[in-house]
Chains A and B, each alone.
Chain A
């Protein structure tokens, strides 16, 4: 079992298996992730990085084992409680997953609307977020008219809009040029400094080297390493 200080853990994973039919995507993963950690989940393509993140944001359920997120056992969460759990998490995808028919403003605002926030507060907060990610002048643009880097900045703004405790990012810079990738990583570091736990699935070692934090390495669905980023370099 690989774990850090279990008392501070915001995420606890106990003997988790995930399989799709005969194919085993995750095998006996046990892991504690402390609060305010900056963790990279690395490994080759098909190692199970994205699957692990999916279990955390309730995109999939574990076939066996338990995942505890902020004290809640995800395998026992009833369907009607799932939205409340998801609000504790902000998710960023490689393909951004923005709604193309909604404006930049609306894409970010939807998180706050779903939480039932008042219009005035939504207006103020979304404008602040767009300013933070440097996109306030594109508020009324539609995602397809933006570059990949710009879309990912919107995705970051959306992920943090609900002030989540945890940010999950699946290859957030995978399809970006180095300059845009750096902007995104700077934004994530800023969010981390404000107390969020950041978990990034990536195989970009250069990014890991520049950022620091911890590394959780997967290989063919197994957790093979968990250590500080500078220790693998």
Chain B
């Protein structure tokens, strides 16, 4: 308790330096958590898009019913396939008519149903990736009864790859800003230590142990980290509210629904900034108070 009071007193005595440090940490936290917020939301959007990934296999005309069931079973046994729905040509025509609504009467004049029988193949969640879809599509094409295979959304896969690259950059940024926060706290502790060298010498003279001398610095570093973390997350929340309000009133109504960082993710950010505060102090004190 005495050490905590000493730390608060020290922070009060070095208000300006501590304020600058907290604000700088909060900037680092804001940038890092902005990345986290972006990735969390982008992941959600990508996952919802990926759920729609499917392969349509069109059958050649006049395939007998037993063979249709056999092929369906074969496809279902293929690695990564979650579900296979058979859509007969007549079902497909009905669906098309429903989709065309008023223009459906155009289809009434057809003598024969031009649509082929088909399978709608849904993939397991872990296989909803471009390379896997492509592999599976190739396997399905090899089946004699299959005339054509359609698997669109290749753009999604390319986008996903770019996004993964971007994610790596994000991790690098998180690392850089974490190190920046550590460096800033270390520098503050160093400046305070230099400014209070005489005081530290006097404390040693009166029998203070190293841990007694260091304690307020560590507590100060932790408090700087916590304060910087809270400030950074608060700033992020303010930006989030502004952006979310604009989206809900703007062009993307219903298309994009952004959410804030989860409690766990916010906790990780806070623990990270607190750890950065502690680590910065540790580095400086190790160098200067041997």
Interface set, chain B 172-202, CB cutoff 8 A to A: 196, 198-199, 202
Offer 18 A-B interface pairs, CB within 8 angstroms, sorted by A: A59-B205, A82-B204, A83-B208, A83-B212, A84-B207, A86-B207, A97-B202, A97-B205, A99-B198, A99-B202, A101-B13, A101-B196, A111-B206, A113-B2, A113-B6, A114-B203, A115-B207, A162-B207
A33 in contact (CB, < 8 A)? no
Q: Indicate if B209 sits at the interface (CB-CB under 8 A).
A: yes
* Alpha-carbon separation in the docked complex, A158 to B205 (Å): 11
- CB within 8 A of B209: which of A99, A101, A114, A158? A114
B-side contacts of A158, CB under 8 Å = 206
Contact A119 B2 (CB under 8 A): yes
Given A99-B199, A101-B13, A101-B199: A110 and B2 interface contact (C-beta under 8 Å): no
With both beta carbons as reference points, the residue of chain A lying nearest to B206 in the complex is identified as A111
Report the Cα distance A16→B2, complex, angstroms.
40
- A105 an interface residue at 8 Å Cβ cutoff? no
Supposing A99-B199, A101-B199, A113-B6 touch, asked if A86 and B212 sit within 8 A by C-beta, the answer is no
Count A-side interface residues using an 8 Å CB cutoff: 23
Docked complex Cα distance between A158 and B208 (Å) = 13
A83-B210, A113-B212 known; 15 new pairs, CB 8 Å cut-off, are A57-B205, A80-B209, A83-B204, A83-B212, A86-B204, A87-B206, A97-B202, A99-B198, A99-B199, A101-B13, A101-B199, A102-B199, A110-B202, A114-B209, A162-B207
The interface residues of chain A lying within 8 Å CB-to-CB of B13 are 101
Residues in B with CB closer than 8 Å to A57 are: 205
Give the chain A neighbours of B209 by CB distance below 8 A. 80, 83, 114
Total A-B pairs, Cβ < 8 A: 53
Interface string of A70-95 (1 = CB under 8 A from B): 00000000001011111100010000
- A98–B208 Cα distance when bound, in Å, is 15
A114:B208 contact, CB within 8 angstroms: yes
Is the beta-carbon distance between B205 and A110 smaller than 8 angstroms?
Answer: no
CA distance A82 to B202 in the complex (A): 14
Alpha-carbon distance A111/B207, docked complex (angstroms): 7
Smallest CB gap from A101: residue in B: B13
**Within 8 Å CB of A98, what residues of B?**
202
B199 CB, min distance to chain A CBs, angstroms: 5
Tell me the complex Cα distance, A115–B196, Å.
20
CA gap between A62 and B13 in the complex, in Å: 38
Q: Could you say which residues of chain A place their CB within 8 Å of the CB of B208? A: 83, 110, 114
Leading 10 A-B pairs by shortest Cβ distance: A87-B207, A114-B208, A86-B207, A83-B209, A111-B206, A83-B207, A99-B199, A114-B212, A113-B2, A97-B202
Residue on A nearest B199 in the bound complex, by CB: A99
Contact with A along B32-47 (1 / 0, CB 8 A): 0000000000000000
Chain B residues lying within 8 Å of A115, measured Cβ to Cβ, are 207
Given the complex, which residues of A lie within 8 Å of B210, measured CB to CB? Answer: 80, 83
**Chain A minimum-CB-distance residue to B10:** A101
In the complex, residue of chain B having the shortest beta-carbon distance to the beta carbon of A86: B207
Q: Mark A109-131, 1 if CB is under 8 A from B, else 0.
A: 01101110001000000000000
Name the residue on A nearest B5 (C-beta). A119
CA gap between A96 and B210 in the complex, in Å: 22
Interface membership of chain B positions 1-41, coded 1 if the CB is closer than 8 angstroms to chain A and 0 otherwise: 11000100000010000000000000000000000000000
Question: Which residue of A has the minimal Cβ distance to B205?
Answer: A91
